[in-house]
Amino acid sequence: MSKPMTMSQKILAHHAGKEYVEPGDLIFANVELVLGNDVTTPVAIKEFEKIGIDRVFDKDKIAIVPDHFTPNKDIKSAQQCKMVREFAKKYEITNYFEVGEMGIEHALLPEKGLVVPGDLVIGADSHTCTYGALGAFSTGIGSTDMACAMATGKCWFKVPEAIKFVLYGKKTGWTSGKDIILHIIGMIGVDGALYKSMEYTGEGLKSLSMDDRFTIANMAIEAGAKNGIFEVDEKTIEYVKHHSTKPYKIFKADEDAEYSEVYEIDISKIKPTVAFPHLPENTKTIDEITEKIYIDQVVIGSCTNGRIEDLRIAAKILKGRKVKKGLRCIIFPATQNIYKQALKEGLIEIFIDAGCVVSTPTCGPCLGGHMGILADGERALATTNRNFVGRMGHPSSEVYLSSPAIAAASAVLGYIGSPEELGMKGDEE
């Protein structure tokens, strides 16, 4: 009789060709996809060339997405993108996405059907953990590991312990996936899941859309986790069938699998939540914020919250309203398809009429790159995933994290507040 395993253990065992793996094991495993961007891929290319081979392991299983400093913000970023572009051409990389067809990588790859349940995915970007929403094991790695994986199709892993999050109840009001993950990080801390797998299950999953799940899985790294992963259900399968033709394999945790901790969370009790500077764990619910925190900039977008549901929520609040005079509101649809859908639905017009700037898909200011850098002493409220010192610009600037609903309302109010302050009640669903 085989020993019980978690979802992550099962996927890692399968790809390592083993019947069983346990936490702490060091394994070599075959990967389904190797991802890089315009910041991390140039380093990987230099290391790849040192190996001295004239081919990649599989041109269909490498994805390169120039999304961080694109469209090229300066000469250095242009040089990096040129190196990546030439590498992709030389090795005939199928899934190289040029500016104009790209998107923010962690929104683009699921949309393109490149990740499905049961996959083992590595990416030279820490938020590669996003694809756990699809029931895949996906995690960030360094550029040297990316180089080796492009050559061999393999990577080494230390099998992580797992924390089980049993979600029950339904979202209420303006609460979203972003509020759920901020609540969890506030509860366990930025090192609360250090090198562990955050595994989500429970009847509360029915209340979470795929966009909610991508947001929750995306921020697993902000709790220190190796990966985040959701149990596959009907919503997952529906999404995969709509986006992909790849075969998939569902791995379900054994009932008696061992977890280092188990948390039961009633999501109906979670309120809109804001992370204060300078850590994602520094959280307060919106009704715990007693003082008016005035802001200079609002950013709605990123690999965390730039999907169509996020834009619909922001547009619902901004429709017929104006961004507070003197405040900048920048909106980043996460992919070209999302941008097109937002155009069709009239969301872009709502944003522009409200006084927002709408950008082509890019990581932009999230990492302090471009398209919205903060000056000294400025405050921003963003739907992004990190708010470390200097994350979005000047070291003396401050970044607060929230959901699109809180961000949009705050853009109108001029300070951090809720849609209810604008007389809007949340959807009870």
- Whole-angstrom Cα distance, residue 393 to residue 277? 13
For 221, phi then psi, to 5°, come to -60, -25
Tokens of 156: 């080494």
- Whole-angstrom Cα distance, residue 406 to residue 317? 9
Q: Is 366 annotated as a binding residue?
A: yes
Is the Cβ–Cβ distance between 407 and 422 less than 8 Å?
A: no
Q: Cβ–Cβ contacts within 10 Å for residue 396, how many?
A: 12
SS3 assignment for 294-355: ECCEEEECHHHHCCHHHHHHHHHHHCCCCCCCCCEEEECCCEHHHHHHHHHCCHHHHHHHHC
- Whole-angstrom Cα distance, residue 388 to residue 400? 10
Outline where 102-250 has alpha helix (H): 105-111, 143-152, 177-188, 210-218, 234-243
Angle between helix 347-354 and helix 308-318 axes, rounded to 10 deg: 50
Tokens of 225: 């986790």
Is the Cβ–Cβ distance between 393 and 376 less than 8 Å?
A: no
Angle between helix 41-51 and helix 75-90 axes, rounded to 10 deg: 40
Tokens of 144: 């040297």
Annotated binding residues: 303, 363, 366
Annotated binding residues for [4Fe-4S] cluster: 303, 363, 366
